[in-house]
Amino acid sequence: MASLSAPNKIKRRDSFSLETAEIDRIANMDLSFSEKIHVSAPPASKEDRAAATTLKQAILHLDEVEACTQPDLLLPLLTPANLQRILRARKFNQEDALELAKATVVWRLESRPDLLRGTKELEAECCTGKARLGEYDRHGRPMLLLDAAAENTKDAAKQIKHLEWQMERLSRSMESSPNENVEKNCIFVNLERFSLWNCPSMQNTRKTIDLLSKFFCERMGHGICWVRIFFGERMGHGISTLLQLFETGHTFNVSQRHGQPQLTYLLMMFWTCISA
């Protein structure tokens, strides 16, 4: 019987097996890719670490934090990596970063995403796969797959709870990635069956944007919008532009007509498997 052992740490290109000429051809396409932006994070300088220390002390003196009876609840917010994410999300402006941290503290205390589990309450939300985790891509980034056309419930609060649960799972998947340098994930939005009849409400759209841009800031390495060949391209372009407004990472609008090489380059050869 084979012994169970921890998976070997991989480098970004270990699972990428295209011929060199094909790699060069795809790399010359209009695709932005930087290891320090889309997979890991820029190394923190001495000034960055000092700014993180200042921000941490300011967070600890927030009224909401001092009144919290469960200090362990806020520990994930105060890790060095997360403090750097908050600072990067606000261009290292201490006042803006503290405001973002305060909003995240309030959200965590009210929503308690740490307590969410795969219970019967969320079972109905999970059964169609409208928001689900995929596999790791060739860079070791975990994938979150979103498909509004698979919406099957009308309770907006439970829909957001389901997304919060998936985002928490996505963050934990980053920590267990086979690539130890991964600090980013990949969001894959399936717009193939998207229409005005199955689009989410404006309220849920705003809450989704808050989740991605505030409470889980600076985690998206790539956002990929998979669209139909015709009118879906315009819709996908609008959504990808919206996603780019709040992320350092880049968003790509990929159509069925010419998207295969792009997704092979960004994700892996068998990208349909990891994106389901």
Tens digit of each residue's pLDDT (9 = 90 or more) over 56-79: 999 999 999 988 888 788 888 899
Q: Is the pLDDT of residue 193 over 50?
A: yes
| pLDDT at residue 8 in the model | 46
Average confidence score pLDDT of the chain: 77
pLDDT, average across residues 219-237: 66
Question: Please, which residues have CB within 8 angstroms of residue 261's CB and are 6 or more apart in sequence?
Answer: 25, 26, 29
Q: Is the pLDDT of residue 149 over 90?
A: no
Between the ranges 62-76, 158-172, 244-258, where is the mean pLDDT highest? 158-172
**89-133, pLDDT tens digit by residue?**
999 999 999 999 999 999 998 888 888 776 677 777 887 778 888
Q: Which two tokens stand for residue 1?
A: 């019987």
Q: Is the pLDDT of residue 32 over 70?
A: no
Q: Is the pLDDT of residue 13 over 50?
A: no
Lowest mean pLDDT among 67-76, 101-110, 167-176, 191-200: 191-200
Percent of the chain with pLDDT over 90: 26
Domains of the chain, residue spans: 45-111, 119-274
Intra-chain end-to-end CA distance of the chain, in Å? 31
| pLDDT at residue 170 in the model | 93
Longest Cα–Cα distance of the chain, Å, equals: 60
Lowest mean pLDDT among 11-15, 79-83, 153-157, 171-175: 11-15
Residue 251 CB coordination number (10 Å) = 22
| pLDDT at residue 83 in the model | 96
| pLDDT tier for residue 212 given thresholds of 50, 70 and 90 | confident
Lowest mean pLDDT among 40-54, 120-134, 182-196, 248-262: 248-262
| pLDDT at residue 121 in the model | 72
Give long-range contacts, CB 8 A cutoff, 24+ apart: 148-157: 148/191, 148/194, 148/198, 148/199, 148/200, 149/190, 149/192, 149/193, 149/194, 149/195, 149/198, 151/198, 151/200, 152/124, 152/125, 152/127, 152/128, 153/124, 153/125, 156/201, 156/203, 156/204
Output the pTM of the full model: 0.78
Residue 137 CB coordination number (10 Å) = 27
pLDDT, average across residues 141-153: 84
| pLDDT at residue 265 in the model | 72
| pLDDT at residue 70 in the model | 81
| pLDDT at residue 264 in the model | 73
Q: Is the pLDDT of residue 14 over 50?
A: no
If one looks up domain 119-274 in CATH, what number appears? 3.40.525.10
